[in-house]
Amino acid sequence: METIEEARMKLAELEGQVTTLVTERDAANVRLAELEPTVTQAHALGGRVAELEAALGESRTAVEGAATAIGEAKAGELAAVRRALLAEHAGTVVPELVAGDTAEALEASVTTAREAFDRAAEATRASTTTQQVPAGAGSARSASAAAVESLTPLGKITAGLAEQGRAR
């Protein structure tokens, strides 16, 4: 068994440990009191982060919508430029060859389209100048059959169209 002296020593040792633990507890409580505003701020910041993430999602959606609108506007602009070029060069270009992804490409394609049109027109002229097309049944208003017989096919078409224009 223990002696009183040993028990007193053990009691003193335990009291020292209790005092140490009380001091540590008090220090922990002080530190907890210091950290409470930080915890409150962290919770508030967590809410703010959620708000910002929602705003970011909305911004991304808006940016995607704007990018789509810009793409559609560019496509519309290119279509308008193409229509303007076709109108400006009507009858002198092959319309199917006026193409491109940019206004500059569209304008550059006009040269190719004009050259193709010129080659096709020249080939048609060359093949029709040697052909004789019969006059057909003329009307009282048309040119004399002998005058029409001497015309080239292109000339006959021109004369026919001129007669049609006068008849209206």
Nearest Cα residue to 131 out of 109, 103, 153, 115: 153
Decide if 90 contacts 102 (C-beta within 8 A): no
pLDDT-derived band of residue 25, with 50, 70 and 90 as boundaries? very high
Phi first, then psi: what are they for 92, rounded to 5°? Answer: -130, 0
Q: What is the number of alpha carbons within 13 Å of residue 31 lying toward its C-beta?
A: 6
Q: What confidence tens digit (pLDDT) does each residue in 48-98 have?
A: 999 999 999 999 999 999 999 999 999 999 999 999 999 999 989 999 999
- Say which range, 20-29, 135-144, 154-163, has the weakest mean pLDDT: 135-144
Give the pLDDT of residue 89.
93
**C-beta neighbour count of 163 within 10 angstroms:** 14
The pTM of this model reads 0.48
Vertex 44: Cα angle to 40 and 46 (nearest 5): 115
pLDDT-derived band of residue 39, with 50, 70 and 90 as boundaries? confident
Give the pLDDT of residue 141.
47
